[in-house]
Amino acid sequence: MGGPWWRDAIVYQVYPRSFADSDATGEGDLRGVSSKLSYLSDLGVNAIWLNPFYPSPMRDSGYDVADYCSVDPRFGTLTDFDDLVSACGSRGIRVVIDIVPNHCSCQHPWFREALASPPGSTARERFIFRDTPNNWQSTFGGPAWTQTPDGQWYLHLFDASQPDFNWRHPDVPAMFERVLRFWLDRGVAGVRVDMANMLFKDPTLPDLDEHAAEVPYYDQPEVLQLYRSWRRILDSYPADSFPGPRTGVAEIWFTDPRKVRPYLTRDGLPQVFNFRLMLAPWTAGELRAVIDEARALAADTGCSMPWVLGNHDITRVVSRLGIDQELIRQPTDALRRGEAHVDVALGTRRARAAALLMLALPGAACLYQGDELGVPEYLGIPAARREDPTFYRTAGAAIGRDGCRIPMPWSGDTPPYGFAGEPVRTWLPQPADWARLTVAAGLSDPDSMLNLYRAALRLRREHPALGAGEMTWLERGAHELAFTRQPGFACVVNFGDEPVSLPSGSRVLLASGPVDDALLPCDTAVWLGL
Ligand code: GLC
């Protein structure tokens, strides 16, 4: 295949709190992850990305980090982490960790010191304290500034418990260099960089002008310099033996490709998630446009934009594709507010087709735990059990992301579905009707989503076209996406209302639904040998 491993890797996103619970506390942990590695290697993944497992008061489920170089006791110990990396290594699975550089937790020693120190002190300069706030709003709702007892305000673009660092203070980049080396020394294959375009703010902290093209807390030029320095650190680790060249994957939410282009440089991280595929409505035209946009960006830059269909921030794919797709274009999340009718059967059919579409595209893909089982968004979480700060900061107007973070169902007919070895109250409740969505149920049903993923990932490994094979669109109907990969492979997806015929002389390698008489039903994808 050639090229670094990350270029066409399948990366499986493990949300440690919800993956597997080894000690029956109701929360997942690192030993739980280690106990499920045969599942992951049978599935056929090349790497795992672990969401934050650092000491944290968990005000934003671990994205509020109190100590960047340790493991929260709820997740285990550093020894458990080392054991996980080595157990993964012996199966050829690489480990990517999450670095959260925009902000820390208010429990981080630096922020405690800042609060205890007077205005103007060095301790305060590591954060963004001001005498008067500007008009910036928190991503989670409400103002982005909170006042301290002495009258100053500090900036937090997320929860008030997540103060933003001042990246222009030299202590901050120096600390993160140490953090990177700390984990690279322990054998990690790369880092996922949280909110990678935010770190630096326009130093004058101007008010946000909703109509201006530039957002004063995005894309400051210094951030690109920073990632060049991180690339030098990543490159100082050996590339010629496992885990190979180290990667960095930026989390950047964008609508304008010109904004993301500067991050795609070989001397930078050099990957950026492609969320546009995940956020697009289920239409042939819109998906083709976002696929072409990403292919052009990757081709121009020699970098890579891993495809994504789901993650811990976005409504589960099965539910997203099971609603009126017009709602996807609207800014409010009607689905999570319970204002959209969800047709789970339709969404599942489409999510199966989307999986084959994504896995047939050139380049890496990132697969969020549970999507391979086809679990839907859980909309029935009682208000009192919700955890996401978005819910609290908007007084419930936005119900938040908990519904896509439900503990994994592994086996059995009732909660906790094998998530823990004994009955426990899981940190988020699991629905009562997930018995047919467990790993065990999926493995025993030849038509399950899980077996579709396993078959697709197997073919992806074996078929010569599904590595670096050239991709070319086939021009068919307006409601179809069809392309070839060289040699001898095609993928066809039918988005229309009527079945379509398959290209003549092709044979079905894998299909997301029943294909009879060479007719491809609607909302179905097929992989073909030519
Ligand atoms: C990223 C994470 C999200 C978190 C936020 C703040 O978007 O994916 O889960 O809440 O950053 O760290």
User: With 60 as the cut, is the pLDDT of residue 248 above it?
Assistant: yes
Helices (H) and strands (E) in the chain, counts: 15, 18
Residue nearest ligand 1's atom 7 by CA:
195
Q: How far apart are CA 488 and CA 501, in angstroms?
A: 18
pLDDT digits (tens, 9 = 90+) for 65-105: 999 999 999 999 999 999 999 999 999 999 999 999 999 99
Closest atom of ligand 1 to CA, residue 102:
12
Q: Is residue 330 predicted with pLDDT exceeding 90?
A: no
Using only C-alpha atoms, the chain has a radius of gyration, in whole angstroms, of 23
75: Cβ–Cβ under 8 A, 6 or more apart, which residues?
Answer: 16, 17, 27, 28, 29, 30, 53
- Is residue 195 lining ligand 1, measured as CB closer than 6 Å? yes
Q: Give the position, in ligand 1's atom list, of the atom nearest the Cα of 103.
A: 12
Average the pLDDT over 410-414 and give the result. 98
Distance from C-alpha of 108 to C-alpha of 66, rounded to nearest angstrom: 4
Identify whether 251 is a catalytic site residue: yes
* Buried residues in 273-286 as b, exposed as e (16+ CB within 10 A): bbbbbbbbbbebeb
Asked if the model's pLDDT at residue 149 lies above 80, the reply is yes
Each residue of 110-141: pLDDT tens digit?
A: 999 999 999 999 999 999 999 999 999 999 99
Give residue 60 CA to ligand 1 midpoint distance, Å. Answer: 8
Largest CA distance in the chain: 77
Task: Give distance in angstroms: CA of 78 to centre of ligand 1.
Answer: 23
Residue 269 CA to ligand 1 centre (angstroms)? 19
For the question of residue 194 being annotated catalytic, the response is yes
Could you tell which of 313, 368, 393 is best to mutate to test the pocket of ligand 1, judged by most ligand atoms within 8 Å of the CB?
A: 313
For 18-177, strand residue ranges (E) read: 47-50, 94-99, 129-130, 145-147, 153-155
Task: Give pLDDT, residue 211.
Answer: 92
Arithmetic mean of pLDDT, 184-193: 98
The four Cα atoms 259, 260, 262, 268 give a dihedral, to 10 degrees, of 150
* Angle of the 344-360 helix axis to the 449-462 helix axis, nearest 10: 10
- Can you tell me which atom of ligand 1 is nearest the CA of 64? 12
Q: Is 158 in the pocket of ligand 1 (CB under 6 A)?
A: yes
Separation of CA 195 and ligand 1 centre (Å): 7
Q: What pLDDT does residue 98 have? A: 98
Distance 410 CA to ligand 1 centre (A): 26
Residue located nearest, by CA, to atom 5 of ligand 1: 63
Q: Measure 114 CA to ligand 1 centroid, in angstroms.
A: 23
Interatomic CA distance for residues 420 and 36, integer angstroms = 12
Pairing status of strand 47-50 against strand 247-250: unpaired
Q: Per the residue annotation, which of 251, 286, 371, 388 is the catalytic one?
A: 251
Quick one: pLDDT at residue 498?
Answer: 96
Atom 12 of ligand 1, residue of closest alpha carbon = 63
What is the number of the ligand 1 atom nearest to the C-alpha of 313? 9
Say whether pLDDT at 337 is over 90.
no
Residue 63 has pLDDT above 80, yes or no: yes
Instruction: Write the CA distances from 454 to 2, 18, 267, 355, 485, integer angstroms.
Output: 23, 21, 35, 11, 20
**Does ligand 1 have an atom closer than 6 angstroms to the CB of 194?**
yes
Contact between 20 and 408 under an 8 Å Cβ cutoff? The reply is yes
pLDDT for 338 equals 84
Question: Does the pLDDT at position 191 exceed 90?
Answer: yes
pLDDT per residue as tens digits for the range 257-277: 999 999 999 999 989 999 999
**Interval between CA 63 and ligand 1 midpoint (Å):** 6
Task: Quote the percentage of the chain above a pLDDT of 90.
Answer: 95
The response to whether residue 47 sits with its C-beta less than 6 Å from ligand 1 reads: no
CA pair distance 419, 438, nearest whole angstrom: 10
Compute how many other C-beta atoms are within 10 angstroms of the C-beta atom of residue 241. Answer: 6
**Which entry of 194, 219, 333, 388 is annotated as an active-site residue?**
194
**pLDDT (0 to 100) of residue 1:** 47
Count CA atoms closer than 13 A to 474's CA, side-chain side.
19
User: Which of residues 186 and 338 earns the better pLDDT score?
Assistant: 186
For ligand 1, is residue 127 a contact (CB within 6 Å)?
Answer: no
List own/partner pairs for 212-216 with CB under 8 A and 24 or more apart. Answer: none
Weakest mean pLDDT among 27-41, 180-194, 387-401, 417-431: 387-401
- Please tell me if the CB atom of residue 82 comes closer than 6 angstroms to any atom of ligand 1: no
- Asked whether 392 and 37 are in contact (CB, 8 A), the reply is no
Residues 6+ apart with CB under 8 A from 444: none
Amino acid occupying residue 522: C
CA of 183 to the centre of ligand 1 (A): 20
Q: What is the pLDDT of residue 517?
A: 84
Ligand 1 contacts CB of residue 100 (under 6 A): yes
pLDDT at residue 333 in the model: 83
User: What is the mean predicted confidence (pLDDT) over 303-307?
Assistant: 94
pLDDT class of 2 with cuts at 50, 70, 90: low
21 lines ligand 1 (CB under 6 A): no
Closest CA to 408 of 4, 3, 122, 17: 17
Confidence of residue 13 (pLDDT cuts 50, 70, 90): very high
